[in-house]
Amino acid sequence: MDRTNLFQHPDFFYLSWIVPLLVGLLIFAHRRRLAAAKRFVDPEMVKRLMPEPGELRPWIKGAAVVLGVTCLLLALARPRWGVYFEKVSARGVDLFVLLDVSRSMMAEDVAPNRLDRAKSDILDLLKKLEGDRVGLITFAGAAVVKVPLTSDQGFFRMVLADVDSDSAPRGGTLIGDAIRKAIESMKEARDRDQVIVLITDGEDHDSFPKEAAAQAAERNVKIISVGLGDANEGSRIPVRDEQGNLRYVKHENQEVWSCMDERLLKEIALTTKGAYVPARTRAYDLGQIYEDHLAKLARGEVRAEKRKRYRERFQIFVCLGLGFLLLEMIIPRYRGKTAVSG
């Protein structure tokens, strides 16, 4: 077994310089005590008050401190040995989240705005994706892969937190390009179902999203489309100028009102035999919706496998370290002397 497997956090060995430093400090302190006693106390009294040069007691106490600190450092490195096999269930699903970051997603008909609401919904979705691989594509005027397919949800959450309306080139909303980018980024696999969750207000600028959905259907990739925003009156798109003043996007001196296009999103979902989620402006649980539909979409989604694990042993070294330090406290520094009557 290499050191990577023997210790979970081998980087803590960089602190091993503390041990020789501690040894040096203990020896230095002991010699300073002896030298100070000889300077200020009569030699006969030194023999009564201080240990003989050959006395082992101070060295035993010092060794206990050194061994205690060494064991605690080993515990920090998380030693592990002894192999066991853990049964792990994985659903075997690859999922790409396509998140619209165009300017229209800043509309506030959904609190606090469409984009921030979508990010919150994605966090709910992640809770249902244990064992699945998930990726993130943001799109506006172009589609950008922010997170390739991964099972590292911590990394995914970190990237998602930084997503804003500048996370993809502006200049339109190209839903079709985003779908095609997701298809390109997922290798065709028979042992894993493949799903796209499309979160958008449905406005598209000639990117042929229906044709892209047809390509997804040929690959047996299901699309769950989520429509955010008011489908009737719509909402204005707020922006702030350099001074921080709030204004609204205008076209030819007229304020632009963004309406959610349900028709397109329904057709995309229908083409891929997926599902359309008419979120509009109301609250909903994307994670639960995904789970409900996945039960119908996935083929043999649950498979079990055994993964090799190593048993954690840091507890042994914590107990040993604390035991050595307690021993140092119990042992008196000097051997008791018999009082001499005058």
H, E, C per residue of 78-132:
CEEEEEEEEEEEECCEEEEEEEECCHHHHCCCCCCCHHHHHHHHHHHHHCCCCCC
Q: What are phi and psi of 15, to 5 degrees?
A: -90, 5
Q: What is the pLDDT of residues 78-94, one digit of tens each?
A: 888 887 776 655 556 88
Pairwise CA distance, residues 335 & 241, whole Å: 80
- Going by C-alpha positions, the residue among 252, 253, 269 that lies closest to residue 261 is 269
* Local structure of 242: helix, strand or coil: coil
Q: What's the rounded mean pLDDT across residues 32-50?
A: 64
* Gyration radius from the chain CA atoms: 33
Q: What pLDDT, on the 0 to 100 scale, is given for residue 135?
A: 94
User: Mean pLDDT score of the chain, rounded to an integer?
Assistant: 78
Pairwise CA distance, residues 212 & 268, whole Å: 9
Q: What pLDDT, on the 0 to 100 scale, is given for residue 203?
A: 76
Residue, of 3 and 262, whose pLDDT is higher: 262
148 has a pLDDT exceeding 90:
yes
Q: What is the pLDDT of residues 216-274, one digit of tens each?
A: 999 989 999 988 876 666 556 666 666 656 665 655 566 665 566 788 889 999 999 88
Q: What are phi and psi of 228, to 5 degrees?
A: -105, 135
Sign for the pseudo-dihedral over CA of 199, 203, 205, 209 = positive
Q: How many C-beta neighbours within 10 Å does residue 128 have?
A: 18
Phi-psi region of 3 (alpha: psi -120 to 50; beta: other; left: phi over 0): alpha
Band of pLDDT at residue 286, cut at 50, 70 and 90: confident
Tokens 């107990």 correspond to: 319
Q: What's the rounded mean pLDDT across residues 108-119?
A: 83
**Which range (233-237, 311-315, 319-323) has the least confidence?**
233-237
Q: Provide the H-helix boundaries in the chain.
A: 3-6, 18-40, 43-49, 57-76, 114-126, 153-161, 175-185, 209-218, 262-271, 286-297, 314-330
With vertex at residue 135, the alpha carbon angle to CA 131 and CA 138, rounded to the nearest 5 degrees, is 155
The answer to whether 318 touches 75, Cβ cutoff 8 Å, is yes
Environment class of residue 302 by beta-carbon count within 10 Å: exposed (0-12), middle (13-18) or buried (19+)? exposed
**Which range (68-72, 109-113, 115-119) has the least confidence?**
109-113
Tell whether pTM > 0.85.
no
State which of 12-16, 66-70, 108-112, 310-314 shows the largest mean pLDDT: 66-70
State which of 145-159, 235-249, 259-273, 290-304 shows the largest mean pLDDT: 145-159
Domains, in order of start, for the chain: 3-84+310-330 (no CATH), 92-301 (3.40.50.410)
Length of the chain: 342
